[in-house]
Each structure stands twice: as C-alpha cells, then as structure tokens.
C-alpha cells in the first residue's frame, strides 16, 4: 500500500508531499527519492525500514531541512518550510526547537561533559536558563545516566552515549524526533533498552518520532511502519 | 553573563572539560608567545640602544650646540645672551681642533676640545666621565688609593685624555699606592683608623711618603727620595703640604691614632706630554721651530659619545687659545635646557629657533637630535629591518595555527554537521574556528608579553649565560664591552610610552595574524553542507 499523506493539517506535526531527490555521479543521475509523501501525527511514532543506501537518511535530512530536495513540500506543523538554501536565521533557530535529531554514531562533542552536551541545543537556541538546567538533570535521570553528568563522552559506553544523545534531542522539547538508526551501534540487549527508553520518553514528552531502523522488532514497536524501496515509501503496518 | 555559544565552543575545543589544556592549544599558545617574546625583546633592546645613545649624546654635547656660521662671529660672546633665557640652565663655550701629542717616539692626533673648567660642568658631566675613565692599579702588597680626578684639577698645563690616547702614547696620570700592613690588619678585629689621599695634584713627583704618628695630634712626614722631613701638627683631618704634594686625610677608626702608627705611600708622577698645534707644525716647515707645550696628564676621561672619535683630549679654554694662538675665539657653546624643554624634542627645536633669532644670523643653534639625525635614522632603519626580518616568525606561527585548525575542521566535520542540525547557523559554526585563532593569539600575546617582561628583568643573567656559552668566560668581557648589554636601559611598558607601544603593537600583530589564520578553516567550516558533513566517513 502506497504511503499517502493526510490532507487534514491540524493534527500533524510533520508532513511531506512528493519529495524528490537525486544525486549526480558524473553524467549519470541516481534517483533516491521519487515521490515520497508522509505525515506524522502529534505524539505518533513511525518507523521506516529499507535497504542500505535506499535513501532513508536522505529523507531524514530533507525533513530536517538540512538538505535541498529536487521537488516537493515539507510542513513543520502548519508551516511550510523553505528549501535548505533559502533558510533564514529564524527558520534555523526553529529547527533547534521543533526538531530533535538522534544519529547512529551519537555525535557527542568530546570536549564537553555529558551535562554540557545535553544543554548545548538550548545554548545554541539562546534559551539557557535555570529551568533548562533542571530539565537536563531530569532527562539524564530519565535516561539513567545522571551519575555521568560530569563525565566526558569518551568515558561512556555506547549505550550510555546514545542515552545522552536522546536527552540532548529532547532538551528543547521538540515536536518531532528524527532518529536515524539509533541502535545501529549497539548490541541487541542494549539496543532494546535504548529503544524502549526512546519510545517511552517520546510518548511522555508527546513528541512524534520518525525512526529509521533495520530492526523489524523495533519497527513493530512504533505506531506505524513503512518501507522505503525504489524511492517510494510503502506503509506495511 | 551568557557567553555567545561560538566563543563557548571555541574555548572548550581549546581547553576541554576535565582537561586543563589540549596539546594543540599548548603548542599553539606557546608558539605565538615565543614569537611575540622574541619580537618584543629584540625591539626593546633596539630601543634601549637608542635610549643609551640619546643619553650619551646629550651627556657629551649638551641639548644643543651653538655653532658660528662665519669666522667673524667666532669672537662674539653669546654666553650672556643665551644664559638670560629662563629655559637655559647651562651654557659653556668650547674650542676644538686637532693637536699632535708626543711622548718619546709615540704620537697621537686626538680630537682636542678646550672647555671652561668652571661652566662646563653645568652642561656636561665631566666628573662622571673622569670617574668612568679612572682605573685602579692591581698591586700585590699595596692598595691603589688614587683619588678620582675632578674638573678642579683642569689647569692650563693639564689635560684629560681618552684611554686610547693614553695607551697609544704609553702615558698615565699620577697614582698613589698605600702599602698594606698585613700584621696590623690581623691584629685588630675592630675598624682601624687609616690615612687616605684626598687630592693628588697632577704635578706631584714620584715619591715614597711615610706618615708616622708621634702622638694623637702630631705626625712626622718623611719623603725618602727628596729627604723631605716635617713634623706636622694636626689641626683637622687634612695634611696639606702644599703644591706638588699629595693631600692626605685622616680617617678615624674605633679608637684614636696612637704613637707609632705608620702609613707608607708610593706615589708615581703623572706623565708629561709634548703638544704641537697645526700652526706650530707649519712654522717648523719653514725652520721657525717653536718649543712644544708641555702638559701633564691629569686623568683618563671616558666620554660616552664623541661621534667616531675614540682619541680625545680635553684641556682648558685658555690652553686651547694659547696653543692655537687664537685668543677670545670660540668654536661654539654647549647648551643645556631645563627638563621641561629637554624632554620634548618639539619644544627643544622651537627654543633653539627662538634663541637663534636672538643671536643674530651669525650663529646656528643645532639641537642634539638634528645634529645626530643621520645616526638615529640609521638606528631606526635597523629597527625596522629587524621587524621586517621577524615578521616571518609571526607568520610561521600563523601558518602552524591555520594548518592545525584546518585539520581540526576535517576531524570535526560530523560535529559541524551536528551543530547545524541542532540549530546552529553556518556562520556561527565557522566563527568557532576563527575565534580559536583569536583566543590562541590573545593568550599567546599575553604570555609573550609576560615572557618579554621576565626577559627584560633578568636580561643580565640571561645574557651572561648566553654569552658565556657562546664566547666563553674570556670572551664575555669583550662581548659585553662591544654590545654594552649590561648598562643598557630597557624600559618596561609601564615606564615608557614607546615601550608600551612596542608591547601593544606586537600583541595586536599576534592576535591579528592568529585570527586571520583561523579565517580559512572558518570559511571551510561555514561552507560545509550539513548533510554532506553528517554523511562523511
């Protein structure tokens, strides 16, 4: 079943219409996304599976407006977002508060402590205040790494690092979490724990989750699941 | 206070949490600091040399010289006109020329200057020059007690000569040694009374003096060579036997002199020089031989600046008038101004112009910095040349910083992508690397200024160490004499505006160059496509 966008806008935190993206390799052109449309309700979770190189990460980058698509429209809530190249300062700042990102390789800043890493999006956003500092502590507690607040990332295990990355993604209370294979670097058991924590926290925070994963078990744990194949997104559950 | 996040991240990348300083930061900051230190120290020393020459020239020439512009004006007396000005604190005439000196078969033709013994000390510190030139004889069982000659002994038949002239002619001023009584020194632990020489006339003869106390207020004075013998009743501390004899002074110890206390002195007369003027030599050509003037060497004088003249003679005005046979002729006047004028070159120049107008058109009044402008321009040129040579030091440090930061951009490419993904804009992300250059430059500049202050403070110790390592102990004296590091006055930034400007200029240069070094990595980081950065391997 082809994944279709819902035309009613009010209840959606993220929508994409007919996204197209291709990459040029010399004279040839690789069409990664042919016409991808999706919608994500508030506090809803959606998983996307697909073969390696099928365009899952590209789709996430397009949705976060980190990358320029060839065609299509993206809405964050009701607001249509400009193409990556046309973004103004306000839109860039909005990315920090509306979207939270989680990557497979964590991308924690090694020179900062766990606490400093988690509060970094608030610092970038200019909303560094005592409430945010308290929220960092609460998130770290929720993630079970509050004891590591003053540690630096190189001293943490993979699972701990990903928990910190989740806390960081949630610090600005984003409406949407884009998670790109968050358990890809973790063993089955740790990955499961991290995934449970992610789903649970997103639910508590009422954040929508778009999860890219290779693991069918994790895909099943989301509200809906879809597969990206041949540049098109098909809903499977 | 909220720190802007690019500055926060720039600081954290250089000084990470739980680490005091990163290896790269330490190397970069120390590199910049050493560059700044070297640049400041070299220029500070150059300025120290300039300051030394400035002070030496003023000591040797006064603040300005009045020079006659035509032969008739040399006989006019301008002293009263010049001295009347409230800013003129000293005015002394001089006569100069070349004289031929002879001692046996040795000759010398020093630059000879006749000065007024009374007024010259108002302008030039002659007594200090004589003290500098005074050397002490190192004897085995005697102590050199020759008093330092003063301008008071500059009579018409006495001259002061530079060490070069003295060495060339093999002459010396009068000297006197006191024999050491070793037994007496050992016998008494307390401070013993002694007899010193208060004044040694240039006309003293070679002699062996014996002073024996006959009682607390009576001494027997004997001279062995001339069989001079006199009982002298002490009325004060001085024993003045008259012209041609040393003046002795009694220095009381812990207890009074007692009968039998004896002091032995060995006196050496001053050398005599034969002096010929150019006119006398001219006369000699036409067989009108006139006898040379005979003068005594009154002292060795070390004038810090005589242009390039190392052979110098100073005599009295009358001596030069006589020998040149030009009575009442003045070749110029040395002028000294009040500190208020002397400290400001512009004021000094204006005052010279004002005084020049008063003196008429026959005379020119040349300030010291105009007369020696060529020399200071040469020193300034050297200073600029040194700066030019040293700029690459700063640039090398900048290149090192640029390369390190560029490597850092490549290493942190995914972090750059992440910062944009979590709400940072590309300009601010680029700014992180530019600010790192700025921080390195600023810290390096501060540290470099600190090093420079330490170097200036301990320059003698450091220079001694370096010179000794290069030239050895024997060469150290020669190097020190040639470069004169030890007497060099190098100013701290809080002591002189020029020094402050040097410190600030090089600190600003280091900060600017380091910041510019961060621009290229910053530009590279700002241009990165965040998706490409996150995707990069």
Q: Pick from A119, A150, A145: which is nearest to A132 by CA?
A: A119
State the CB neighbour count (10 A cutoff) for residue B156. 18
Q: Does A168 touch chain B (CB under 8 A)?
A: yes
DSSP H or E segment with residue A234:
strand A232-235
Rounded CA gap, B35 and B387, in Å?
Answer: 12
Burial (CB < 10 A; 0-12, 13-18, 19+), residue B405, is buried
Q: Which two tokens stand for residue A49?
A: 């599976």
Within 406-435 of B, beta carbons closer than 8 Å to A belong to 414-415, 417-425
Phi-psi region of B333 (alpha: psi -120 to 50; beta: other; left: phi over 0): beta
Rounded CA gap, B444 and B533, in Å?
Answer: 32
Tell whether the torsion through CA atoms of B302, B303, B309 and B312 is positive or negative.
negative
Taking residues B419-435, what's their average pLDDT? 89
Cβ contact B17–A152 (<8 Å): yes
Q: Pick from B400, B462, B382: which is nearest to B37 by CA?
A: B462
The whole-angstrom distance between B402's CA and the closest CA on chain A is 20
**CB nearest to A92's CB, from B8, B19, B423:** B423
Cβ contact B415–A107 (<8 Å): yes
Q: Name the band, by pLDDT with cuts 50, 70 and 90, for residue B8.
A: very high
Contact call for residues B114 and B96 (beta carbons, < 8 A): yes
The whole-angstrom distance between B431's CA and the closest CA on chain A is 13
pLDDT digits (tens, 9 = 90+) for B335-371: 999 988 888 889 999 989 888 887 677 788 999 999 8
Q: Report chain B's mean pLDDT, rounded to a whole number.
A: 86
**Domain segments of chain A as ranges:** 43-69+88-235
pLDDT at A7: 52
The whole-angstrom distance between B5's CA and the closest CA on chain A is 6
Question: What count of CB pairs under 8 Å joins A to B?
Answer: 79
The whole-angstrom distance between B443's CA and the closest CA on chain A is 19
Residues of A in contact with B19 (CB under 8 A): 111
Taking residues B235-251, what's their average pLDDT? 88
Rounded CA gap, B354 and B87, in Å?
Answer: 11
Rounded CA gap, A6 and A16, in Å?
Answer: 10
**CB nearest to A101's CB, from B5, B422, B529:** B422
pLDDT at B186: 47
Q: Name the band, by pLDDT with cuts 50, 70 and 90, for residue B258.
A: confident
pLDDT at A8: 52
Query: Does residue B186 sit in helix, strand or coil?
Result: helix
Cβ contact B423–A96 (<8 Å): yes
pLDDT at B533: 85
Q: How far is CA B341 from the centre of its chain?
A: 22
Contact call for residues A36 and A59 (beta carbons, < 8 A): yes
Cβ contact A61–B531 (<8 Å): yes
Q: Is the pLDDT of residue B467 over 90?
A: no
A172, closest residue in chain B (CA to CA): B422
Query: What is the DSSP pairing of strand B158-161 with strand B175-179?
Result: unpaired
Cβ contact B422–A112 (<8 Å): no
* C-alpha to C-alpha distances, B60 to B148, B367, B481, nearest whole angstrom: 19, 13, 19
B537, closest residue in chain A (CA to CA): A105
**Which residues in chain A come in under a pLDDT of 70?**
1-10, 84-87, 236-237
Q: Does B12 touch chain A (CB under 8 A)?
A: yes
pLDDT at A150: 92
pLDDT digits (tens, 9 = 90+) for B75-133: 677 778 888 888 999 999 999 998 999 999 999 999 999 999 888 888 889 899 999 88
**CB nearest to A92's CB, from B415, B418, B425:** B425
- Nearby residues of A137 by Cβ (< 8 Å), 6 or more positions away: A146, A149
Cβ contact A124–B13 (<8 Å): no
What ipTM was reported for this prediction?
0.88
Q: Name the band, by pLDDT with cuts 50, 70 and 90, for residue B190.
A: low
- Candidates B422, B533, B534: best to mutate against A (most CBs of A within 10 A) is B422
pLDDT at B470: 80
Residues written for chain B:
537
Q: Does A89 touch chain B (CB under 8 A)?
A: yes
Q: Is the pLDDT of residue B378 over 90?
A: no
The whole-angstrom distance between A146's CA and the closest CA on chain B is 17
B527, closest residue in chain A (CA to CA): A85
Of residues B482 and B44, the one with the higher pLDDT is B44
pLDDT digits (tens, 9 = 90+) for B151-175: 988 989 999 999 999 999 999 999 9
- Whole-model pTM: value is 0.74
Cβ contact B421–A95 (<8 Å): yes
A43-69+88-235 has which fold?
Rossmann fold (3.40.50)
The whole-angstrom distance between B422's CA and the closest CA on chain A is 5
Rounded CA gap, B71 and B83, in Å?
Answer: 23
């Amino acid at each position: 079943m082809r994944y279709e966008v819902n035309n009613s806008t009010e209840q959606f935190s993220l929508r994409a219409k007919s996204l197209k993206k291709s990459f040029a390799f010399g004279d040839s052109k690789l069409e990664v996304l042919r016409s991808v449309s999706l919608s994500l309700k508030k506090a809803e979770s959606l998983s996307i599976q697909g073969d390696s190189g099928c365009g899952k990460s590209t789709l996430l980058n397009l949705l976060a407006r980190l990358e320029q698509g060839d065609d299509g429209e993206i809405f964050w809530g009701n607001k249509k977002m400009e193409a990556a190249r046309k973004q103004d300062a306000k839109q860039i700042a909005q990315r920090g508060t509306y979207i939270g990102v989680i990557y497979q390789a964590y991308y924690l800043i090694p020179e900062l402590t766990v606490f400093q890493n988690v509060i970094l999006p608030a610092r970038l956003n200019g909303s560094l205040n005592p409430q945010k500092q308290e929220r960092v502590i609460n998130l770290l507690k929720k993630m079970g790494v509050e004891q590591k607040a003053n540690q630096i990332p190189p001293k943490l295990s993979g699972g701990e690092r990903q928990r910190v990355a989740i806390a960081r993604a949630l610090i600005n209370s984003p409406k949407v979490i884009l998670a790109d294979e968050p358990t890809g670097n973790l063993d089955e058991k740790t990955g499961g724990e991290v995934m449970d924590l992610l789903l649970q926290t997103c639910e508590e925070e009422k954040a929508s989750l778009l999860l890219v994963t290779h693991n069918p078990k994790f895909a099943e744990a989301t509200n809906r699941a879809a597969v990206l194949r041949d540049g098109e997104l098909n809903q499977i559950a | 206070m909220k720190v802007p996040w690019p500055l926060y991240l720039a600081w954290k990348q250089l000084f990470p949490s739980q680490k005091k300083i990163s290896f790269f930061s330490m190397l970069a900051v120390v590199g910049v600091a050493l560059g700044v230190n070297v640049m400041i120290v070299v220029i500070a020393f150059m300025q120290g040399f300039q300051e030394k020459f400035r002070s030496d020239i003023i000591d040797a020439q006064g603040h300005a010289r009045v020079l006659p512009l035509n032969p008739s004006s040399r006989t006019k007396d301008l002293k009263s006109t010049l001295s009347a000005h409230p800013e003129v604190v000293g005015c002394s005439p001089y006569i100069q020329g070349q004289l031929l000196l002879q001692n046996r078969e040795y000759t010398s033709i020093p630059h000879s200057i006749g000065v007024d013994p009374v007024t010259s000390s108002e302008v030039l510190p002659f007594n200090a020059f004589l003290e500098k030139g005074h050397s002490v004889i190192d004897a085995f069982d005697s102590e050199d007690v020759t008093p330092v000659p003063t301008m008071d002994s500059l009579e018409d038949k006495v001259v002061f000569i530079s060490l070069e002239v003295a060495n060339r002619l093999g002459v010396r001023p009068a000297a006197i040694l006191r024999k050491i009584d070793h037994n007496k020194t050992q016998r008494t632990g307390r401070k013993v009374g002694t007899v010193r020489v208060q004044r040694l006339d240039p006309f003293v003869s070679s002699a062996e003096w014996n002073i024996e106390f006959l009682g607390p207020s009576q001494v027997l004075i004997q001279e062995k060579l001339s069989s001079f013998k006199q009982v002298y009743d002490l009325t004060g501390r001085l024993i003045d036997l008259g012209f041609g004899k040393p003046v002795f002074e009694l220095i009381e110890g812990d207890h009074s002199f007692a009968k039998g206390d004896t002091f032995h002195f060995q006196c050496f007369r001053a050398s005599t020089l034969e002096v010929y003027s150019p006119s006398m030599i001219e006369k000699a050509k036409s067989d009108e031989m006139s006898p040379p003037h005979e003068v005594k060497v009154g002292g060795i004088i070390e004038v810090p600046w005589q242009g390039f003249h190392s052979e110098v003679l100073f005599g009295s005005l009358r001596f030069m008038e006589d020998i040149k046979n030009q009575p009442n002729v003045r070749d110029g006047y040395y002028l000294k101004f009040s500190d208020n004028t002397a400290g400001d070159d512009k004021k000094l120049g204006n005052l010279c112009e004002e005084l020049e107008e008063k003196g008429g058109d026959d005379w020119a009044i040349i300030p010291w910095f105009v007369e020696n402008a060529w020399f200071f321009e040469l020193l300034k040129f050297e200073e600029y040349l040194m700066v030019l040579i040293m700029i690459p030091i700063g640039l090398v440090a900048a290149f090192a910083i640029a390369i390190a930061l560029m490597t850092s951009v490549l290493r942190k490419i995914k972090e750059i992508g992440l910062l944009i993904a979590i709400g940072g804009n590309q300009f601010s992300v680029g700014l992180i690397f530019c600010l790192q250059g700025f921080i390195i430059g600023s810290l390096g500049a501060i540290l470099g200024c600190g090093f420079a202050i330490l170097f200036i403070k301990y320059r003698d110790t450091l220079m001694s160490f370096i010179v000794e390592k290069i030239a050895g102990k024997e060469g150290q004296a020669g190097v020190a004499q040639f470069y004169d590091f030890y007497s060099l006055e190098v100013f701290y930034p809080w002591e002189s505006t020029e020094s402050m400007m040097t410190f600030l200029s090089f600190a600003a240069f280091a900060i600017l160059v380091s910041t510019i070094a961060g621009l290229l990595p910053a530009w590279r980081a700002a241009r990165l496509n965040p998706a490409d950065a996150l995707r990069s391997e």
